Every structure is written in C-alpha cells, then in structure tokens.
Structure 1
C-alpha cells in the first residue's frame, strides 16, 4: 500500500484475562477515509485509544507520519497532528461556541492549553477570525455566542468537530460520530464529512451505522474479538460472507 501515513504493527492489549487487541496490523493511506467496524466489544475504541496515547499497548507500535507514537502522552500525539472526536462530545458547556473553538486554537499556537498574555491582541483577533470561519463552515456561526451546553446532541458533535478542525490535524479520528443522532442530523454529518474529505486530511471512522460507513469510507477494516478478520473496499467488505456472519449473524450488510 503506497503513501501510508499511519502504521499500526503487531499491537496487542489485554485487560487482566481479556484479550482486547490481538496482533493488530493496520495501514492507513494519506488523504483517505478508513472505517473500522465490528460488533460491540470488538476492540474498536481500544484501538483508537492506543493510537492517541490513552492506552499503552502490551506490545507492538504505532507510527504516524514517520514518528513513533507508542509511549507518547496524548498531548504530544495531538501536537504531532492527530485529533479525535469522542463518542460523547467533549466540549466546555459553560463557554460559548466561539470560546470553545478558540481554546484549541490557542493550544495549537502556544503548544499547550493556556492563554499567553505576552502575545499581542492582533494575533488573538486573527485566531478569533479563524474560529468564526470554522464555525461558519460547519453551519454553527449563528450560534457562536450561545453557551455550548444548550446545543442539541447533533450540534454538540459538530462543535467538537470544529474544535478538532481548527487544529488543522493531519489525522482525524472519529469515534461513532453519529451515535444517538436523528436521521436528519446523521445526514447533515455525512454531508459535512464528505465536504471536508477533499482537504487532504486522513480520517479513521468508527461507526455502527452502515449507511454512514458506506457513504464515507474508501477502505474498511472489520474487527471481531480483538482481531482484524477482513479488510477491503466497501464493496468487498459488503459481500464478504465471513464479515456478514461475524457482524450480522449472516445477514447482508
């Protein structure tokens, strides 16, 4: 596979007697959207947690853009160009939408989540303009002065995505980005992710909704009981009888 930007090699992770990940090998191509699917408990979120430094694997390595991520702290991995949207939106509910987006903007500039008073106000104004542009792009600009805690679930997910996009990541990890959404909000999220696909950003998507997966993915890996049992294009995975049996008890995807 050419132009691999993320290389997960021989990763294993156990929790007590439970083998969560077993000899995971995964290569993600630059600029592509790679979906990871599988039944509950397959190890999908554990794999993402390994990639972002929240879980240290028992063995194996994760290399992103030529840098070894294994053993690094989550903030170091974030600074290397990896951002993540979580299953439950991680926002600041008592801040406005604009303030929420400016927090990671300051972090990207200063290298830590802090405000540097020594930096002139013109630089802050530039960050504010950039934050407003991102909110505009995600259809949230009219709500920029509203408290984030007042948003619907779908808008909270879009806000968290805005907080990731302003960091200008090279790799975006989305952990069930449409979980709990109405069909209307799900379709809006699909349209949004399709729109940003042309920006050259690599994305990994964990998702149970097959409509979302087949709408977005260039390639799909299937996890079951902590191991990759199949990988291929959406059409290849859709027609794979092993996947149908493991994922849907033999029903067609």
Structure 2
C-alpha cells in the first residue's frame, strides 16, 4: 500500500499551550484509522492542520508524495484530501439533491466563487454524479426533502457524500456518529463504509464511541496532551495500559 498521508513532526501552539507536539502519523491507501483521545488531546488540531484550516508551526504534511503543508483548504481538497464535519456543512434550505448538485458544480468548476453555486449544475453529467451519491449513501428516498427536514443521521450521510464527490484519496471524518441516534449508529457506519469500500480511499475518523472504533477501525492513533500516545492495530492500541489509564478509563 502507498502512503496516502504522511505527517511528520507537526507542532502547533496557542498562547504557549502545545496543541500538537511533534505529531507524526502515516496512513496507507485503503486503511481505516480512528483517532481517539479526550477532549483537547489534539485530534481536531491534527485534522485541521492536515486539511488546511490551521497552519502548523513546524513539520510537514504530504499526500500521495506531494507536500501540502500550509496550503489553503480548497487547494488541499483539490489534491485529494477531503473531510466531513462534526456539524454537517450543508445548505439547510436546499433539497438533498440540490446540495449534491452544488457540491458537483464546485468540484467540476470551482463555482464556490459564483453568486449562484447551482448555476450550470443542472446538466446530465452533474445529475448523474449526484444520483450516484444518492444511491451509494442510501439517500434516494430523501432526494427532494430539504436538508432541514431530515434526521441528523441523514444530514451526516449527505455531508459525507458531498465530501466524496471528487473521489478523494484521503477522507477525514470528524466524529461521524455524533448526533446520530444510538440505535442507528451501526447502520449509519455500515452505509458509510459500504459506500467507500470500492474507492481505495484512506479513511481517518475521530470517534469517542469505542464500540464504533472496535468495529470499524483497522488501526487506532491515540492522542494525549498534544502527542501520539499509541499507534497500532485496534485491539493492541486499546489494550495498552497507558491508553486505558488516560483515554478509555479501562473501557477498552
């Protein structure tokens, strides 16, 4: 497997507080990796540096051999590194189909600068791409529903689907099951993972639910106080004494 993402020696401090202290993480194509740690451990800081929402104070980030350190989020997205958000970044007043058409138009034409992101999206190619996402993410029944009319889990699926429009090589999911009903979390993750199964995409997801981590992650990277505390196969990492002590509280 090739290195889809390689972060080396990342450091980031806010007012003297180290949010990332010499963080190094490598993820291979096709891997599914979970980032875990207490609130404030450095997980989101790491993801924000990788996706361009924060610039590291030092260190380097490469994707597919290309350096992306310090690039703007839009440039990093175009390089093949995409993300979804803990709070879905969707247009609530648009239908699910229209949300996807906006995402297609932006991906194909960079139309985010346009006053009307839907302009030019209403063509056969754009609709075909939107249809594929609707099918893959089990959203066909909600095609014409506005985003603010569907459940939190459905909005999450839409957000992840929009992030996959350009077939990324790396996909980062920020707390994908947050806001999803507890009795729907496994079904939700099954849909996401099945939709990505044929994409050969490296998936890295932040998660606090250890049941989700154990079921879906091939590997776990554990953050603690801005550093990587553990990095290894899921069961091995979760059963380390220091991980139980500082992160899972023995829940592993």
TM-score relative to the length of structure 2: 0.93
Inter-partner Cα distance in structure 2 for 1:147 and 1:167? 23
Unaligned runs of 5+ in 1: none
| Structure 1 segment 240-251 matched on structure 2, within 5 A | 240-249=240-249, 251=250
Q: Is the 8 A contact 1:12 1:20 kept in 2?
A: yes
| Structure 1 segment 166-185 matched on structure 2, within 5 A | 166-185=165-184
Q: Is the 8 A contact 1:217 1:234 kept in 2?
A: yes
State the shift of 1:81 in Å: 0.9
Cα displacement string for residues 162-217 of structure 1 (whole angstroms, at most 9, x for unaligned residues): 11122211111000000121123211222113312342111111100111111111
Q: Is the 8 A contact 2:105 2:121 kept in 1?
A: no
The answer for the alignment partner of 2:236 in structure 1 is 236
The answer for the alignment partner of 1:218 in structure 2 is 218
SS of alignment partner, residue 128 of structure 1: helix
Q: Is the 8 A contact 1:106 1:114 kept in 2?
A: no
Does structure 1 residue 202 correspond to structure 2 residue 202? yes
SS of alignment partner, residue 113 of structure 1: helix
Inter-partner Cα distance in structure 1 for 2:121 and 2:14? 50
Cα displacement string for residues 90-138 of structure 1 (whole angstroms, at most 9, x for unaligned residues): 1000111101011121122113425699xxx798212112201211221
State the shift of 1:66 in Å: 1.5
Cα displacement string for residues 4-37 of structure 1 (whole angstroms, at most 9, x for unaligned residues): 1211010000000211000001111111111111
The answer for the alignment partner of 2:31 in structure 1 is 32
Inter-partner Cα distance in structure 1 for 2:112 and 2:123? 14
Inter-partner Cα distance in structure 2 for 1:8 and 1:122? 36
Q: Is the 8 A contact 2:175 2:207 kept in 1?
A: yes
Inter-partner Cα distance in structure 2 for 1:184 and 1:166? 28
Number of residue pairs aligned between Structure 1 and Structure 2: 249
SS of alignment partner, residue 188 of structure 1: helix
| Structure 1 segment 61-80 matched on structure 2, within 5 A | 61-80=60-79
SS of alignment partner, residue 75 of structure 1: helix
TM-score relative to the length of structure 1: 0.93
Q: Is the 8 A contact 1:106 1:115 kept in 2?
A: no
Inter-partner Cα distance in structure 2 for 1:143 and 1:69? 36
Q: Is the 8 A contact 2:219 2:231 kept in 1?
A: yes
State the shift of 1:236 in Å: 0.5
Does structure 1 residue 9 correspond to structure 2 residue 8? yes
RMSD, aligned CA? 2.0
